[in-house]
Amino acid sequence: MPRKSFIETRWFSLSGRELGVLAIVALIALLSTGFVHLWRTTYWDKGMDVKMAADRLPRPARININSASREDLQLLRNIGPKTADAIIEYRETHGTFDSLEALKEVSGIGPATISDIRPDAMCAPLSEK
């Protein structure tokens, strides 16, 4: 004969007491997940995603192609390590760039790349000391 429960249910043939225990376990899991999320977003600085902090990182207004380092050049869209090295090598061989359009002379850079980097790059003359 089936057991009578306080709450009548047909869920997996669980009694009301068993459903109550499951509800308490689910509530504890939900509250602990919320607490961990609140703790990590409010107090925990370590392990922060770069995507989360991207708006907080300082960023130069524009990168000067004529004086930028390899790492700075790689901050530009579609400029990887090889292209950055090619820009630096061209710059050391032929001198500074007069305009962004002069970057077409560098191997691996075409009109599409120049239009991609135009908002973030510039060709300012180097100041002599």
Span 50-96, pLDDT tens digits: 555 555 556 557 899 999 999 999 999 889 999 999 999 999 999 99
For residue 3, which of 14, 12, 22 has the smallest C-alpha distance? 14
Enumerate domains of the chain plus CATH numbers.
1-53 (no CATH), 63-122 (1.10.150.320)
What is the per-residue pLDDT for 105? Answer: 92
| Region label for 59, one of left (φ > 0), alpha (ψ between -120 and 50) or beta (otherwise) | beta
Distances, alpha carbon 93 to alpha carbons 22, 59, 90, 96, in Å: 73, 29, 5, 9
Residue carrying the six token digits 């359009």: 101
Question: What's the pTM value of the predicted model, to 2 decimals?
Answer: 0.53
Q: Following CA atoms 54, 57, 62, 64 in sequence, which dihedral angle do they give, to the nearest 10 degrees? A: -110
* Span 2-53, pLDDT tens digits: 566 555 556 567 777 888 898 999 999 999 999 988 877 776 655 555 555 5
